[in-house]
Amino acid sequence: MEKRVLCLLTDGFEEIEAVTPIDLLRRAGIGVTIASLKDGVLTGRCGIRVEADELLDAVNPADFDLLLIPGGPGVGDLRADGRAAELAKRFDAAGKCVAAICAAPLVLMDAGLLKGRRFTAYHSVRAELGGGLEERVVEDGNLITSRGAGTAMDFAFAIITRLGGEDLAERVAEEIMA
């Protein structure tokens, strides 16, 4: 049975943190659905435009194995909307994985998921988070966090390993000469 990832995007997403994991997950045969808070084409932080597959309201979270939240300035909108934190809580309560990179661990904080857990995040949000590690990727239970755009490939491979195993991650890495 194909593993499935729900990726939340809104305007201001960090392109590398979204596109790199989506690309590598799809190369691994893992289904990715890009869900948006609003209709229409989304514009990333650097002006790259992406069309979502679905509106967030139209997806059934129970159909997915992992919630992926890229960072970027758009994280502020995800936080203000509140649905991303609620989804993170639902995934966590169901024992499903939640993956957040850069500023997106702020959503995990809003969901109450970082208390007593190891995590990392972009340096500029660590004070608000009350800490964070310097590691490129941190896994703690069903949470996967990563520092930022420069660690997006490591983050993607951690997700692939979690969902499909080390052999699958190694196969994809070999295919792209990582």
Give φ, ψ of 110 to 5 degrees.
-60, -30
What is the rounded distance in angstroms from the CA atom of residue 18 to the CA atom of residue 152? 8
Q: How is residue 133 annotated by DSSP?
A: B
Q: How confident is the model at residue 47 (pLDDT cuts 50, 70, 90)?
A: very high
Tell me the DSSP string of 55-91.
EGGG--GGG-SEEEE--STTHHHHHHH-HHHHHHHHH
Confidence of residue 1 (pLDDT cuts 50, 70, 90): confident
Cβ atoms of 76 and 100 closer than 8 Å: no
Q: Over the stretch 111-143, which tens digit does the pLDDT of each residue have?
A: 999 999 999 999 999 999 999 999 999 999 999
Domains, in order of start, for the chain: 4-172 (3.40.50.880)
Question: According to the model, what pLDDT value does residue 80 have?
Answer: 98
Active site (catalytic) residues: 102
For residue range 65-106, list pLDDT tens digits in order. 999 999 999 999 999 999 999 999 999 999 999 999 999 999
